[in-house]
Amino acid sequence: MSPVKTNDCVDAVRDATSNGGSTVLLMKAGKGINDLGDYDSCGRIPGFKYGLLTVVQGGFFKMHLGLCLPQKCRENDFQVLVDGIIKASDGFFDEGSVTFPAEFSVNTSGWRLVGIIFFSLFGLLLLFGLIVQLTPLFKKQNLEENQNKDPAQEKSMLGKVFISFSPARNLKKSFTSTYNPKDNLRVLNGVRFFSFLYVVLGHTYQEVLLHPSVNITDINSFMQPLLFQIVPGSYFAVDVFFFISGFLGAYLMILKFSKGSMNIPKIYLHRYLRLAPSVFFAMMFALTFYQYLGDGPLWPTYSTFWTLDCPKYFWAFLTFINSIYPSYKTQCMGWLWYLSHDFIFFLFLPFQVWIYVKKRAIGYSLAFLILLGNIISVFSIVMKYNISVSMKNDSNYVEYLYFKPWCRIGTYQVGIIFGMLYFEFITGDKEEGDKSRIGFKIFKSYNISRLVRYVSYVLGLAVIIALVFMITPENRLFGRKDENGIPMRHFSRVFSAFYTSLSRPLYVIGLALILSGPLVGKGSALQFILGGEFYATWCKFTFFGYIIHLFIFSFYFNQLKQSIYLSHLSVLWIYVTAMVITLLLAVPFSIAFESPFIQLERLVLFPVKKKNEPKPKLQASSSGSLTLENSLEKKSAEPLIPYKKI
């Protein structure tokens, strides 16, 4: 049976080989697994075009072979060949196809035109905002001289709206340091920044393994070194974000609630407006321009991977329900599941805080019950489906655990409990404060005892290291199966259930043990490492950096004309380069698409108080931590989102 389907293609291949074209067919094609051949040269030869044979294993890993074929051949001509390969693999390959990248056409269903119009109008708005800033347009009448250094205060309300879009003003504000060496919370800037780097490290290796490599047969040995286990450990970095979000949100809300009523609808609106515009602009940019930025043998296969379903389900991502609906398999900026989780967790936070303020024992009990429910649910799911402790070894881990809010809320609750305890310390540390609270006693022990701090540092670090490296034996079994074709396991079902249900809460508890010293003004080395002015500035861009970083990785890998060679040095080189590019690109994106809405939100939700109104006063406790005397409006515009500026 011929490996191709139609007579036209068969005849064209036969004619090419009989007329000396066999050299072209062979020399320009790949010679082995993931050899992409010569994409450019094949496309320039009259009568020939480049084709790509792709087979998929486990619905996840793709393997490729470059082909140089006659122009008359079509994609469905090779279905017999593909079916034969899948059958011969005895179940190793799930599906396959032959595609012709040069014939790929982008279908954005009208999004491109909408995007071009939208970004053009928005660009004019940015330009007009700059003009308003630099000219007397919308200037107030009878303005007192030197009333305010901020040019927006010289403008009318409409002028303030337009000047919110000025790139020059937003750039200056973004790089105006908010660093306060007396604020112990500044160490969270460093934690958040390094957690962002850790997330990106994990995604770097993920993208490398998703894309073709010429030495794909070395993948098992590639994952064997002990230090490689740091990479799957990056899955814990997202839990650090949940922990920080719960901690800051609880602590600051309790401060606000304890001084009076709190406008909960405004809190929800604030949260939504700080997230949705950035997500919307990134999605619009991806749908409008991204698919036109590159080409190559891999571009048609991979360039739509992160945007294919966005036109259909964009509303789910803009309402932050995407971690519940649609499926986690939806191809639309899949990494935004984290924002969905965080937003859902935040919806319940004001009620938990309100309960704590009214009755502290019930507030603690509720947080512990939710944490316990999280642990029990994860334990039960692992026992039911016999899920591996290693996410990359078991697709059920992703399907039933990783993207489910009820399986990830535990670390958020640990953060809430930590915030409650810290609030009791801050308020109790004042002269008139209540020193009988458990939170005051715990943190005060860190304040007065060096031994407590050092033991806490060692214990916290030991917990984190143990959780990362404990499952190394099972991580090393990646891709290996027993004689029955079942993926091999090192640990028992019961051990897997205990580890999977407890590891994430324990990880952030270990982090809390390390941070307790710096948060009470001690641990100068950690304060220096994590609380520097550098982080106060660049943490402002990690949110948009998180949104765009996988597009940067995707662009690099998708436009490659040949497969990479797997080595840790080359991966780390890609990581550092992409990390720098991500942060540099995050600056203009953040200034253009995020900062204007931050300024508008402050203008509407948190307007500047008039001179005759009392201003919030910062009061330093004996530990050096800052609290607000009269109001949290000014501070609450920033830190309730842990991946935003603190």
- pLDDT, tens digit, for every residue of 195-221? 999 999 999 999 998 899 999 889 889
160 and 45 in a single domain? The answer is no
pLDDT of residue 328 exceeding 90? no
406 and 312 in a single domain? The answer is yes
Write down the pLDDT at residue 595.
94
Write down the pLDDT at residue 514.
98
pLDDT band at 20 (very low <50, low <70, confident <90, very high): low
227 class by beta-carbon count within 10 Å (0-12 exposed, 13-18 middle, 19+ buried): exposed
289 and 430 in a single domain? The answer is yes
Higher pLDDT, 10 or 571: 571
Write down the pLDDT at residue 140.
78
Higher pLDDT, 19 or 470: 470
386 and 462 in a single domain? The answer is yes
Work out how many domains the chain is built from and give that number.
Answer: 3
Residue 641 maps to a domain: no
142 and 235 in a single domain? The answer is no
pLDDT band at 263 (very low <50, low <70, confident <90, very high): confident
Q: Where does a domain end: 76, 103, 130?
A: 103
| Cα torsion angle, 223, 226, 232, 234, sign | negative
Average pLDDT for the chain: 87
93 and 203 in a single domain? The answer is no
Residue 376 maps to a domain: yes
pTM here is 0.90
Ranges 190-199, 349-358, 633-642: which has the least confidence: 633-642
Residue 367 maps to a domain: yes
Q: Are 174 and 189 in contact (CB under 8 A)?
A: no
416 and 395 in a single domain? The answer is yes
170 and 247 in a single domain? The answer is no
Ranges 141-145, 164-168, 335-339, 394-398: which has the least confidence: 141-145
For the chain, what percent of residues have pLDDT higher than 90? 60
36 and 134 in a single domain? The answer is no
pLDDT of residue 625 exceeding 80? no
Q: Is the peptide bond before 326 cis (omega within 30 degrees of 0)?
A: yes
Q: Are 461 and 526 in contact (CB under 8 A)?
A: no
| 413-430 pLDDT tens trace | 999 999 999 999 999 988
Residue 2 maps to a domain: no
Q: Where does a domain end: 103, 123, 148?
A: 103
pLDDT band at 232 (very low <50, low <70, confident <90, very high): very high
Residue 646 maps to a domain: no
Please report, for residues 552, 597, 604, 633, the alpha-carbon distance to residue 270 in angstroms, rounded to integers and kept in the order given.
29, 10, 10, 11
Residue 644 maps to a domain: no
Q: Where does a domain end: 128, 154, 174?
A: 174
List the domain range (segments joined by +) for residue 148: 111-174
pLDDT of residue 564 exceeding 90? yes
308 and 362 in a single domain? The answer is yes
207 and 333 in a single domain? The answer is yes
Write down the pLDDT at residue 607.
77
Residue 244 maps to a domain: yes
Residue 215 maps to a domain: yes
351 and 476 in a single domain? The answer is yes
Quick one: DSSP state of residue 626? E
pLDDT band at 327 (very low <50, low <70, confident <90, very high): confident
